[in-house]
Amino acid sequence: TRIEGIREGRLFRYCPEVKLYKCPTGVRGEVVTYAITDAMNGHPDIPGTSKLMVYRRAQIKRADQRIVFLDEGRLSPNSWTLWYDQERWWDQVTARHGDGTNFGFADGHSEYWKWKDPRTLDVAKADYDYWQNTGRNGGEALQPGNEDLHRVQRGVWSKLGYEP
């Protein structure tokens, strides 16, 4: 089960409370709503990122700025994916917390980021619609100048892989 997976995971000895793996306002019935980012030993095949992947804590520079976890609001089958070399979202973001979401950083602190660009909120709404079985998932379109996207990409990958 998912709970057994949590208990057998490497983080459990540091965070041994199952309820802490889920935001209380996440999708009902989900056991986990937080995801690790691809950059932190997640999916290794994101274009242009092979030298940016983190496999050991010692590789992390500016730990106070590097996003490790985020609240996806639901269980995802994989790590959270974000383009590095394109001005677009890959996986969607959530906006359940006053039009923003929560991030956990490599130094152990967390932050709430309120979305400022209406296109980010559109992506979050499309994600909600998708998981409510509408089949719409948004996020595929290029979003030039989206500071929310730039901020998250810098937090995940440590820099942008393009000129905004």
The DSSP H or E segment spanning 68 is strand 67-71
In a domain, 143, yes or no: yes
Residue 94 located in a structural domain: yes
Q: H or E segment at 69?
A: strand 67-71
CB 32 within 8 A of CB 4: no
**Has residue 163 been placed in a domain?**
no
3-state SS, 137-162, equals CCCCCCCCCCHHHHHHHHHHHCCCCC
Please determine, for residue 11, whether its predicted confidence score (pLDDT) is greater than 60: yes
- Could you tell me if residue 162 is inside a domain? no
Q: What integer best gives the mean pLDDT of the chain?
A: 88
Residue 47 is part of which domain span? Answer: 2-157
Residue 164 lies in a domain: no
Q: What is the pTM of this model?
A: 0.88
Within-domain flag for 72: yes
DSSP code, position 29: T
Within-domain flag for 140:
yes
The residue assigned the tokens 């001005």 is: 87
Instruction: Domain count for the chain, please give it.
Output: 1
pLDDT digits (tens, 9 = 90+) for 26-42: 778 888 888 999 999 98
At 72-98, the pLDDT tens digits run: 877 777 889 999 999 999 988 888 888
The answer to whether residue 63 sits within a structural domain is: yes
Read off the pLDDT of residues 93-146 as tens digits, 9 standing for 90 and up: 888 888 999 999 999 999 999 999 999 998 888 865 554 444 445 567 899 999
The pLDDT value recorded for residue 12 is: 94
